[in-house]
Structure 1
Amino acid sequence: MAGQWISVYALGSLLAAIPLTAATRSWRRRPLLLGAIIGFAIANLITALTASFTVALAARFVGGVSAGLLWALLAGYAVRMSPPHLAGRAMAIAMAGTPLALSIGIPAGTFLGLLAGWRLTFGLLSLAALLLVGWILAKVPDFAGEAETQRPSLAEVYAVPGVRPVLAVTLCFVLAHNLLYTYIAPLLAGHGMAGRIDTVLLVFGASALASIGLTGALIDRWLRPMTFVSIGLFLAAALLLAVATGAPLAIYAAALIWGLAFGGAATLFQTASARAAGPAADVAQAMIVTAWNIAIFGGAVVGGVILDGMGAGGLPWGGIVLLVGATGSAVCMRR
């Protein structure tokens, strides 16, 4: 059941991010942001209360649609709220939720679900969303949408120099991440560390959090070099995971390096996308969301094929191939 819910949620984000963002480009930003958060709250509340599996699936799909729109809006909103010279740092703060959710949110939700039941977890998510609505009404300014004369088509945004390389880097990098993260249990079992999954992921999460701070401090001046550093660190981590059989310390080192590479990745890619797209940043962000969710789906599918054909030892090598592709795409990004 949990797998189906996750897949349907991701499918909602994947299918809705681009068309919904494009259709609402002329809308004022704060009402749109509030609508997406309220939709997320309602979807979680229905999930918590319904006894119907079909209704719950539909609610998860709506939750994914809301999340896809939210993700597309956040980067542009952060840039508009900040001075130009601090735009990257503002985006780093806005996008900190991704590694925070991986390192803290998922374990906390799982623990709460085991302690009090999964329905309470979804109910609390709805409550948190409603509190967020109040905070936005009190503190977050509103901005106008795009004027009709300032709205390039989706094809025109896609053709903007620099947008396609960022999308390619995102797809390759996140696909490599999900190859490893989705199948971390068999991968660690192959290294004789089946009982240490929690500690390995804790190291990954802690270093990802540190990466957020580093990214926020450096991104406005060093976006392009940091992108290469992130890919290079991930390549090093994947190589360690590929060759360090029976070496627990090396696996922990790989998790540490992997977390440093991944923690700021969402901010790097979305900042690069926003800079390349200019006024059409929200649509470009929706494309990033779509690429990210394709990579989530693809990580499960491609990882499963590798696992069946080559065993868990083949997963890091698959990641290495993808990261080489990410490096080539990063070379084509705008300077």
Structure 2
Amino acid sequence: MSASSNTTTTPGKDTRAAPDGEERQKLPLFALLALATAVFITSLTETLPAGLLPAMSDDLHMSESATGQTVTIYAIGTALTAIPLTAATAAWRRKVLLLTAMAGFAVANTVTAVSSNYGLTMVARFVAGVAAGVAWALLAGYARRMAPVALQGKAIAVAMAGIPLALSLGVPAGTFLGETLGWRTAFVAMTVLTVVLLGWILVAVPDYPGQQAGERPKMLGALRVPGVAPVLFVTLAFVLAHTILYAYVATFLEDLGMGDDTDVVLLVFGAASLLSIWIVGAQIHLRLRSLTIASTLLVAVSAALLAVLSDNTALVYVAALLWGLGWGGVPTLLQTAAGEAGGESADSAQAMLVTLWNVAMAAGGVIGGILLDVVGTDSFPWTMLLLLLPVLVVVVLSRNHGFPAKRLGA
């Protein structure tokens, strides 16, 4: 949940999160790395089937397109349950809720690993998506709550580093493991990592109280808070733009004659994303607005290069670099913006952000598939540009609320 939630107990302070003296300005890295591992597991669980589709479809006796819906059902599970479950569990102790969510991943990945029935596998993937809905609404705010105000942006950046790590390293590693030892082994490995993480959380992550009944805001009431709606719109459009191309990047590169270079292109993208995470973490406390504008422009320039000059192999790599630089810090930027804009309704704003994020991911896969069948892969970068234009306009116009030019405490 968000740092603003501290006002429900001890206004703005928790002695475990921000002790007196010099320790106040230090990040609890061991605990934050546990959250980053949780983010890694959440992201990798969602995307891992993409690299294992042929083997999974053979074992489940389903087509690859049907097996590919294991990714879609995960996103649907998150989108449908993030808001109601966040409301239902608002009073839970935060550590208990985090442990419960991660235990859900252990169960879901174990069932996926042993199941030979398509229906059971889809149920397990839906349960994983439900666990993700709880985790995503919790993790960014948890990271903020563990850090002093001046370091909250860096704390979120550390936690969110699990996303590019999962995409750039986790998916290729999981694919390699699946190809060498079988796809089920990859999901077993995810369960083992999750069990280790549960012990890590028990030892290293501080606990916080939930919200009392009279202090819980209504979920949709957060939409009336100035700044929340612009952040949610930017989330929906930005993630949709990204997903339309990312979900079909292998097909896009294959049509360019670069199918054999897909892993290298994704490695460039992932490395640039990690650099972006570091830059955002270092600067977000002072420059959230300018970093969001810069991220939008970088991804837009990348899309423009792919739209106009994709016949040049070197420029495709440049585009992947710019795309990663622009995209890597976006989860941190948007989670931070939603938490700050939401204020006392930050938990609700985070839950809605998680919901829209996953709606955008699911929609990106569907819209990308339609564009692929009707127009072809050339349409992907142009569609990205069309979606990023209103994103840029909304960020620029939201200078008072949402993406303010002057931030409290900065």
Query: Equivalents in 2 of 1:288, 1:275: separation in Å?
Result: 13
Q: CA deviation at 1:141?
A: 1.0
The one of 229, 236, 245 equivalent to 1:171 is 236
CA distance in 1, matches of 2:169, 2:347: 28
The whole-number CA distance in structure 2 between the counterparts of 1:231 and 1:268 is 11
Change (3 A) 1:232 1:113: same
Q: How many residues align?
A: 335
1:218 corresponds to which residue? 283
- Distance across 2 between alignment mates of 1:247 and 1:51: 44
2:217 and 2:344 in contact (8 A); partners too: no
Tell whether 2:110 aligns with 1:45: yes
Cα distance in 2 for partners of 1:3, 1:120 equals 19
TM-score when normalising by structure 1: 0.97
Shift of 1:108: 0.8
Partner of 1:157: 222
Write the letter of the residue equivalent to 1:325: P
Match of 1:205 among 270, 276, 298: 270
- Whichever residue aligns with residue 384 of structure 2, its letter is G
Q: Write out per-residue CA displacement over residues 66-109 of structure 1, whole angstroms, 9 at most, x where no aligned residue.
A: 01111110011111110011111101111111111110111111
Matched, 1:3 2:68: yes
Q: CA 1:124–1:189 in 2, change beyond 3 Å: closer, same or farther?
A: closer
The percentage of aligned residue pairs carrying the same residue is 50
SS of the equivalent of 2:136 reads: helix
Within the candidate set 90, 93, 108, 1:25 is matched to 90
Q: Quick one: distance in 2 between partners of 1:160 and 1:211?
A: 29
SS in 1 for 2:311: coil
| Rounded Cα–Cα distance in structure 1 between residues aligned with 2:107 and 2:295 | 37
* Structure 1 residue matching 2:68: 3-state secondary structure: helix
For 2:341 and 2:289, the matched residues in 1 are separated by 12
RMSD: 1.3
Measured in 1, the distance between the counterparts of 2:376 and 2:72 equals 24
Write the distance in 2 (CA, Å) between the matches of 1:282 and 1:93: 20
- Can you list the C-alpha shifts for 1:101-140, whole angstroms capped at 9, x where unaligned? 1101111111101111111111111111111111111111
Shift of 1:52: 2.4
1:247 aligns with 2:247: no
Q: What are structure 1's unaligned runs of at least 5 residues?
A: none
In structure 2, the partner of 1:130 is 195
**Distance in 2 between the 1:138 and 1:245 partners?**
50
Residue type of the alignment partner of 2:177? L
Distance in 2, matches of 1:245 and 1:231, equals 20
Deviations 1:131-179 (A, max 9, x none): 1111111111110111222211112112211111111111111111111
Tell me the SS of whatever aligns to 1:129: helix
Q: CA deviation at 1:9?
A: 1.3
Q: Which amino acid in structure 2 is aligned with residue 208 of structure 1?
A: S
Cα distance in 1 for partners of 2:293, 2:171 equals 28
Q: Is contact 2:106-2:195 (8 Å) kept?
A: yes
Decide which structure has greater helix share: 1
State the distance in 2 between where 1:245 and 1:267 align.
29
One-letter amino acid of the structure 2 residue matched with residue 310 of structure 1: V
1:289 aligned partner:
354
Distance 1:190 1:61 in 2: 32
Mapped contact 2:273–2:325 kept (Cα < 8 A): yes
The residue aligned with 1:236 is 301
Q: SS of the counterpart of 2:143?
A: helix
Q: Corresponding residue for 2:338?
A: 273
Structure 1 distance, partners of 2:137, 2:116, is 32
Contact 1:161 1:334 in 2 (8 A): no
Where structure 2 has 5 or more consecutive residues not aligned to the other structure, the ranges are: 1-56, 58-66, 405-410
CA contact (8 A) 2:99 2:198 kept: yes
Separation in 2, partners of 1:86, 1:124: 33
**Inter-partner Cα distance in structure 1 for 2:121 and 2:72:** 13
Residues 89 and 217, structure 1, Cα contact 8 Å, conserved in 2: yes
Q: Which residue of 2 aligns with 1:299?
A: 364
TM alignment of 1:139-150, pairs within 5 A: 139-150=204-215
SS at match of 1:235: helix
Question: Equivalents in 2 of 1:53, 1:253: separation in Å?
Answer: 40
* CA 214–189 in structure 1, closer or farther in 2 if over 3 Å, else same: same
Per mean C-alpha deviation after superposition, the further-off stretch among 281-290 and 76-85 is 281-290
Q: Aligned equivalents of 2:239 and 2:267: distance in 1? A: 19
Moved more, 236-245 or 147-156: 147-156
Of 260-269 and 147-156, the range deviating more from structure 2: 147-156
Aligned partners of 2:90 and 2:211 also within 8 Å: yes
2:176 aligns with one of 111, 116, 130: 111
* Preserved contact between residue 218 and residue 348 of structure 2 (Cα < 8 Å): no
Instruction: Give the AA of the match of 1:302.
Output: I
